[in-house]
Amino acid sequence: MAEFRADLHIHTVLSPCGELEMSPSNIVRIAKEKGLDIIGITDHNSTRQAKMVRDLGREHGIYVLTGAEVTTAEEAHCLAFLPDDEKLDEFQAYLDAHLPFIRNNPEKFGYQVVVNVDEEIIYEEERLLIPAINQSIEEVEKKVHSLNGIFIPAHIDKKMYSVLSQLGFIPPTLRYDALELSRHTTVADFIAANPYLKNATFIQSSDAHFPDEIGSVFTIFDIPSISFENIQKKNTLI
């Protein structure tokens, strides 16, 4: 077994709140500088920038999980990662079908663009990516798992946009692969306040919207080698 450092919650320039500096090349460069082995690309309700980061990461020895941070109907944010491009595209189609059409106002919410490795804008998303999709947390979880993906309720310690803030407690029937904590708490503190979750698998991630935040907290995966399947098996230490 070996230990790999992972920050599985990173936004790019595609997220309206993501800085323009959050381009694939900057993200990969900073991930490398911070000593990360694995990163997750999780824009709000869109996977459209993830492959670009993945391809660049591959060239520079960073393993990139491709997915999104989904806003469920309850306004609970959840991370979803898909095992291959076919499943990622299917998940993107699912997001497109369930995101309400509200036109983005870039002046107000920020630009939503996909950029290539040369930092050229190759796509602009005209639908605002922040609203809730019209699918419940269970429906999203089932979709992700039907595609053999990884489903992780995000920053569950936060007072807004987390499964705990929106639904009070984790529905006992919800099948999650891990629970994510923000950089503002620790596993020990969180479990002390929520003892019913003491047996859950936790990850901790930066939720980076700015370059400086990448890798500010991370999870150690204790796995024989880096692969989607090994990450899915969730031997994490934080």
Contact positions vs other proteins (CB under 8 A) = 74, 136-137, 159-160, 164-169, 171
In 122-142, which positions are buried (b, 16+ CB within 10 angstroms) versus exposed (e)?
A: eeebebbbbebbebebeebbe
What's the DSSP call for residue 11? Answer: -
Minimum CB separation from other proteins for residue 31, in Å?
A: 33
Structure-block tokens of residue 141: 């979880």
* Among the listed residues 97, 78, 85, the one whose alpha carbon sits nearest the alpha carbon of residue 50: 85
Structure-block tokens of residue 81: 């990662």
> To which residue do tokens 């098996």 refer?
233
CA pair distance 77, 91, nearest whole angstrom = 16
